[in-house]
Amino acid sequence: MKVAMICYPTHGGSGVVATELGLELARLDHEVHFISYSAPFRLREFQQNVYYHEVEVSAYPLFKYPPYDLSLATKIVQVNKEHHLDIIHAHYAIPHATSAYLARQIMGNQHPKIITTLHGTDITLVGNDNSFFEAVKFSIEVSDGITAVSNYLAKRTKTDFLIEKDIQVIYNFIDSQKYNGAVSNCNIKRFAPHGEKIILHTSNFRKVKRLPDIVHVFQRVRKRMPCKLILVGEGPELQSTHQLVMELGISDDVLFLGTQHYMENILGCADLFLLPSDEESFGLAALEAMSCKTPVIGTQIGGITEVVDHGINGFLHPVGDIDGMAASAYKLLSNDNMLKKFKDAARLKAETAFDMQLIIPQYLEYYKKILQQNS
């Protein structure tokens, strides 16, 4: 099978899932072509059956903004001419599924099937902008197959966009052999020299992640016990988060690590993961933490309720409930026996529900199903 993965190359969950899916398909002897404006960050080394095609966007004086969607469609056509693709797997409805549809129109009768995976932002944020509504709806409806990363996202897509086509739920996944909680590459004493508990958060530092809530939860826990906060990532809220930490006088106990490519090493150091987001269509960062035996404290929203089991491998609270999250964090971190139970339960959930060996076959079966459909 020849599959083109159309994805963003950045650290967001969609790029991670698309890349890991493509790499695993390549290991299973399928031919995988990544098409994006730069190489996905998890393409760390050469692998057999993996190809990367860069989308070059020309800045013509006529255009105020470079037309990425047109350049992407053109690149898809070029790759298909050379490699005769079976499937174009678009991660996000716009612009990726839109560009895939345009490419299909250019190709004529001999064209690959289009499968679109909805990861969340295209539905919950972009889709709520009325100026994009029709484009998102159209891109979903003209796809040959549609998948969503959680039941929540599938139901919301059908409701918000009045979609009648079937949406197959295929959860995000984890390589539980790599994300296994081992800390051999993590110098815990560097982060917590006196045995302090470690609280961690990683994201793209957007407003939806509620970085101020993370800082305030940590401040409340810190007043009751020694602990450290590790923040991994970069984004628009980074500077304001730095400023808040300084204003609260807790900078000695907060570490900003910036962007990190090997989170499996850092997650093994953490005792607790915070994810107090306004919106999570799945919560891949939470799953990665859980696979490394790190319980999660998050919000009772979206797909995260399908990942974290309240009172078993983490705690879920209403959005903005800083006091409640702080109380749950202290409850866990101050009771080593309870913390160990939650750590073991988090790992068990990741292994038994979301391991890649369980999820990848679901994608392969879906590919085969769509390929068997008449155009």
- Residues 108-142 have pLDDT tens digits of 887 899 999 999 877 776 655 678 888 899 999 99
140 located within any domain: yes
- Asked if 112 and 97 touch (Cβ cutoff 8 Å), the reply is no
Q: Is residue 23 located within the same domain as residue 168?
A: yes
| Residue from 47, 24, 328, 369 nearest 174 by CA | 24
Q: Is residue 169 located within the same domain as residue 242?
A: no
Q: What digits encode the pLDDT tens for the residues 287-322?
A: 999 999 999 999 999 999 999 999 999 999 999 999
122 located within any domain: yes
Q: Is residue 338 located within the same domain as residue 207?
A: yes
| Residue from 28, 24, 19, 33 nearest 82 by CA | 33
The CATH number for 154's domain is 3.40.50.2000
- Asked if 339 and 295 touch (Cβ cutoff 8 Å), the reply is yes
pLDDT (0 to 100) of residue 11: 62
pLDDT (0 to 100) of residue 130: 76
For residue 158, count CB atoms less than 10 angstroms from its CB and return exposed for 0-12, middle for 13-18, buried for 19 or more: middle
pLDDT (0 to 100) of residue 57: 79
User: Largest alpha-carbon pair distance within the chain?
Assistant: 67
- Asked if 48 and 70 touch (Cβ cutoff 8 Å), the reply is no
CA separation for the pair 266, 86 (Å, rounded): 38
Q: Is residue 83 located within the same domain as residue 195?
A: no
Task: Tell me the C-alpha to C-alpha distance, in Å, between residue 64 and each of 58, 67, 98.
Answer: 12, 9, 20
| Residue from 169, 125, 93, 160 nearest 278 by CA | 125
Q: Which structure tokens are listed for 102?
A: 């345009």
345 located within any domain: yes
pLDDT (0 to 100) of residue 128: 58
For residue 293, count CB atoms less than 10 angstroms from its CB and return exposed for 0-12, middle for 13-18, buried for 19 or more: buried
- Asked if 99 and 76 touch (Cβ cutoff 8 Å), the reply is yes
User: Counting every residue, how long is the chain?
Assistant: 375
Q: Which structure tokens are listed for 246?
A: 């300084």
Q: Which domain covers residue 51, as residue numbers?
A: 2-173+356-371
Q: Is residue 162 located within the same domain as residue 206?
A: no
How many other C-beta atoms can be found within 10 angstroms of the C-beta atom of residue 323?
12
154 located within any domain: yes
Q: Is residue 303 located within the same domain as residue 291?
A: yes
Q: Is residue 43 located within the same domain as residue 63?
A: yes
pLDDT (0 to 100) of residue 340: 96
Tell me the angle at which helices 68-83 and 98-107 cross, rounded to the nearest 10 degrees. Answer: 50
The letter for the amino acid at 182 is A
- Asked if 200 and 287 touch (Cβ cutoff 8 Å), the reply is no
179 located within any domain: no
Q: Is residue 326 located within the same domain as residue 366?
A: no
pLDDT (0 to 100) of residue 215: 98
Q: Is residue 207 located within the same domain as residue 294?
A: yes
Q: Is residue 134 located within the same domain as residue 197?
A: no
Please give the average pLDDT of every successive group of 10 residues along the chain, which has 375 residues: 90 81 95 89 78 84 75 95 96 92 90 94 68 89 96 94 94 92 66 90 94 98 97 95 97 93 85 95 94 96 96 97 98 97 97 97 97 81
CA separation for the pair 295, 126 (Å, rounded): 30
CA separation for the pair 375, 367 (Å, rounded): 14
181 located within any domain: no
Per DSSP, 97 falls in state I
Q: Is residue 156 located within the same domain as residue 128?
A: yes
H or E segment at 73?
helix 68-83
180 located within any domain: no
Q: Which residues contact 169 (CB under 8 A, 6 or more apart)?
A: 147, 148, 149, 150, 151, 154
H or E segment at 238?
helix 238-247
CA separation for the pair 243, 87 (Å, rounded): 47
182 located within any domain: no
pLDDT (0 to 100) of residue 289: 96
The total number of structural domains in the chain stands at: 2
- Asked if 43 and 34 touch (Cβ cutoff 8 Å), the reply is yes
CA separation for the pair 63, 307 (Å, rounded): 43
Q: Is residue 124 located within the same domain as residue 234?
A: no
